[in-house]
Amino acid sequence: MQVGAFVLGAQFPGQQESEALDRAVSVAEAAERSGLDHVWLAEHHFVSYGVCPSAVTLAALLLGRTRRIGVGTAVSVLPNAHPVALGEQTALLHLLTEGRFTLGVGRGGPWVDLEVFGGGTRAFEEGFPEALDLLLRWLREPRVSADGERYRFREVAVVPRPDPAGPLGPGAGGGPGVVVACTSPGTVRLAAERLLPMLLGMHCGDADKADMTRLWRTAALEAGHPPEAVAATARQHVSAGVVQVGDSHEEARQALTKAMPGWLQEGLGQHVTVDGRPRSMRDPLAYTELLCELHAVGSPRLCADRLAATAERTGIERFALLVEGTGERDGTLRNVQRLAEEVRPLLA
């Protein structure tokens, strides 16, 4: 089982942006020291929910400050980036860090980002498969051209070229690891057809994640991928969740319900849709309490049991766990340390 820290760069009410970013860097350094397997970085634009606008840039910084730990994006928003530019950055980090970088990509949301970066609603609603396929060709082939709806260019050389010796996938050997954030059956099938592992969100419970892994496996086999390749890739799925280690469930729950609702209310409330479409927002306190019941929130034993139960029910054994739910730097670092020293040994 692989346990990693999930970092949003969350700016809690009353904090400066620099505090959130400093905490994010400190978490990665603490995760390295503590022996965790990965740190996963989110990206957002124009909202205090997360103040990192480029997960791949922050990943480059953290890869330079660490020597062992894997660093991944969770996720880089593909409709806002040119697939070739993202592919070049991925190849560079892959080669310079001996494969420690994993690129997570996703569709993002129908936010004003699409207007600012020029993709528009079509990039979000229809363009993800084209962008993903171009990105994958860039990571697999020596020369690439494009003649699609959004991307068209003459053949060019892939420089630097990532090692093409093996299949794409974290830990699979060869090229850079790529995972796809999946929140709908259509995206699950898209990832399965391309034999890419999934990143499943923290808003989902075990039953939903189990359904998605079953759908992914069925779609991958129907696409003609060999059963052994399907099984190997399925071992690279990632389950996002929340962790707060305390001396009891109630202590840990109170720590999160005290801090998270204010952050969620302020940060999520800042999202603006690109086309004025109505949007609904979860009740921040109710959502926090739901996360406390779904995920590893409580004593070390309870946290370990919940992670083990998720692994058993879903088959997923790679975790990206949100560690900054209290919003406090020192408290977050203690949470990372307790996760590594008190929870992880119980999973062995």
Conformation bin of residue 94: beta by default, left when phi > 0, alpha when psi is -120 to 50: alpha
Report the pLDDT averaged over residues 159-172: 64
**pLDDT band (50, 70, 90) for residue 175:** confident
Digit-coded pLDDT (tens) for 119-153 = 999 999 999 999 999 999 999 999 999 999 999 99
Give pLDDT tens digits for 302-328.
999 999 999 999 999 999 999 999 999
What is the Cα gyration radius of the chain?
19
Residue 196 tokens read as: 């890419």
The reported pLDDT for the residue numbered 171 is 38
To the nearest 10 degrees (0 to 180), the angle between helices 284-294 and 249-268 is: 140
How many CB atoms lie under 10 A from the CB of residue 159?
Answer: 9
Phi, psi of 170 (to 5 degrees): -55, 125
Kindly tell me if the per-residue pLDDT of 267 is higher than 90.
Answer: yes
Q: CA-to-CA distance for 45 and 52, rounded, in angstroms?
A: 8
Q: Mean pLDDT of all residues in the chain?
A: 96
pTM of the predicted protein model: 0.96
Amino acid 348: pLDDT: 81
Quick one: how far is CA 122 from the chain centroid?
A: 23
